[in-house]
Amino acid sequence: MPAHLHMNGDPFRSLKMKFTHAAMALALSGVLAGLAAQPAAAKEVTIAVASTFTTMDPYDASDTLSYSAAKSMYEGLFGFDKDMKLHNVLAEGYKVSDDGLVYTVTLKKGIKFHDGTEFQADAVKANFDRVTNKANALRRYTLYYNIAKTEVVDPYTVRFTLHKPFSAFINQLAHASGAMICPSAIQKYPGKELAFHPCGTGPFVLDKYNPSEILHVVKNPNYWQKGLPKVDGLTFKPVPENSTRVAMLRTGEAQYCDVVPPEQVERLKEAKDIVVEVAPSIVQRQIYLNNTKKPFSDVRVRKALNYGLNKEALVKVLFKGYAAPATGVAPQGIDYATQFGAWPYDVNKAKELLKEAGYPNGFTATLWAASNSSANQKLLQFLQQQYSRIGVKLQVRALEAGQRVSLVQSVGPEKSQMEMFTWGWSASTGELDWVLRPLLATSSFPPANSNYAYYSNPKVDNALVAALKTTDRTTKQKIYDEAQKMIWDDAPWVFLTVDHDISAHAKNLVNFHSLPDGGFEFLRAELK
């Protein structure tokens, strides 16, 4: 995922409808008509965001921005608060069978979709039947493919049966992509059309959507949580250019600026009517090394590349101090993550390891970056300079999105031309499984998932399976500790940095938060 891309998924389908399509249209028009009758002095919040949207279908979104913005209209059974703590949303609670295969979820009553129909268990089934049907080819299929079947027990109880025990299942349901979409919309708008006709239970209703220009949502007057939302509308405006985005905040054109460039922080802090917020994130960056190709198939070379990079300088030069060297396979803040301390910078040790591996004079390699942003261009230059000190000469290339898909994400190890590739990852389930399994399991080689290093360790694979079979926290932590130690010692990546999340907002906007995964929490946002 661009620094915060969590990847992959699929679709859902089928269900008896209680309302006709005409009824749905009528209900939605009633919602919007009610909104039109509001006083003229509406409290609107404009959010300047760093990139364009991919889709408003949460099950088909591969980027954090899109499914986070979609949360304005959609809710899931569970969710995360601003500190990534799990909580109930549309669900009342759940029970797990002793064998870890069956999850029975009870639903809250009296909640209405935007089309006027009541949210019940049949809607849950419709959504997860859609995403677990591989033929629908939704990106989030890989997040939910372990669901063998979804059954309606009664109107307010749903039962999930898994193919195999999976103790992180509730965290998966809490991921922002696990949204409850109106069954009527699923039926009426198959395929990509659904993205342009969002219908959920959320606090806002769609008014205008153009993926490259705007997402405007207006207050849902029939929202089930009384007194919310506290603003009349939200406008998400894609503004890729850093200085323009910051300027919008300064002039009052925007009340929230997402992804503030580090070099702008100090100036913004001087503004009396602007608040800058800096917090640790769970976005970690790394260089994936192709473990199937020489010289990277030699663990000594991989370790040399970790020793041969000054991560403190990287943080200082490129991030102006608003990041920290990576200290583990997954960052602090991810449940079950173990921290080992950053790889020390040791040029002599790096040269010694290269010599032992048969490369006394270093070697030449190609390094690709996942996007052609100005930040990535600077990163590539920095890495070039750093690695030249240990004799490693890098030919660098910043990929466009299409090139990234065709050259990296769609290619297995046999045909891969990739040697070194830098990108980031955030595990928006808040749990270690969604780092280790998609990035480091043998079964996750592209195009199946995101193991771009083509790393394969049978002991690690077995540990990942074993961890998901147990619901005992102590046992699970022990398994994960051992797996992470093996990965750290194997050094399949060059472990780079963990981002700091930098956002800024107008002083009169409160309770609008950036989340550690790069998403947003804005249910209680208010203009004072």
Render pLDDT for 39-77 as a digit per residue (tens, 0 to 9): 445 799 999 998 888 899 999 887 788 889 999 999 999
CATH number at residue 471: 3.10.105.10
Are residues 433 and 142 in contact, defined by beta-carbon separation less than 8 angstroms? no
Phi, psi for residue 511 in degrees, rounded to 5: 65, 30
Quick check: is 356 in a domain? yes
* pLDDT number for residue 33: 47
CB 365 within 8 A of CB 325: no
Mean pLDDT for the chain overall: 89
Whether residue 266 is contained in a domain is answered as no
Cβ-contact 133, 124 below 8 angstroms? no
**For the CA atoms of the chain, what is the radius of gyration?**
23
pLDDT value of residue 166: 86
Domain residues for the domain of 326 are 281-501
Residue 484 lies in a domain: yes
Closest CA to 126 of 11, 281, 294, 7: 11
| H-run or E-run covering 494 | strand 493-506
Nearest by Cα to 519 from 259, 184, 137: 259
Does residue 221 form part of some domain?
no
Strand pairing report for 420-426 and 274-289: antiparallel
Burial degree of 99 (CB within 10 A; 0-12, 13-18, 19+): exposed
The verdict on whether omega for the bond into residue 447 sits within 30 degrees of 0, i.e. cis, is: yes
In a domain, residue 375? The reply is yes
Asked if residue 250 is part of any domain, the answer here is no
Residue 230 three-state SS: coil
Q: Which residue is associated with the tokens 């998966």?
A: 172
Q: Which residues make Cβ contacts (< 8 Å) with residue 285, sequence separation at least 6? A: 3, 326, 422, 423, 424, 496, 497, 498, 499
Count of structural domains, the chain = 1
Residue type, 385: Q
Does some domain include residue 227?
no
Stretches in the chain below the pLDDT threshold 70: 1-41
Q: Is residue 147 in some structural domain?
A: no
pLDDT in tens, 3-41: 333 333 332 233 333 333 434 444 454 455 444 444 445
For residue 29, what are the contacts with CB-CB under 8 A and spacing of at least 6? none
259: Cβ contacts below 8 Å, ≥ 6 apart: 49, 50, 245, 502, 503
pTM, 2 dp? 0.77
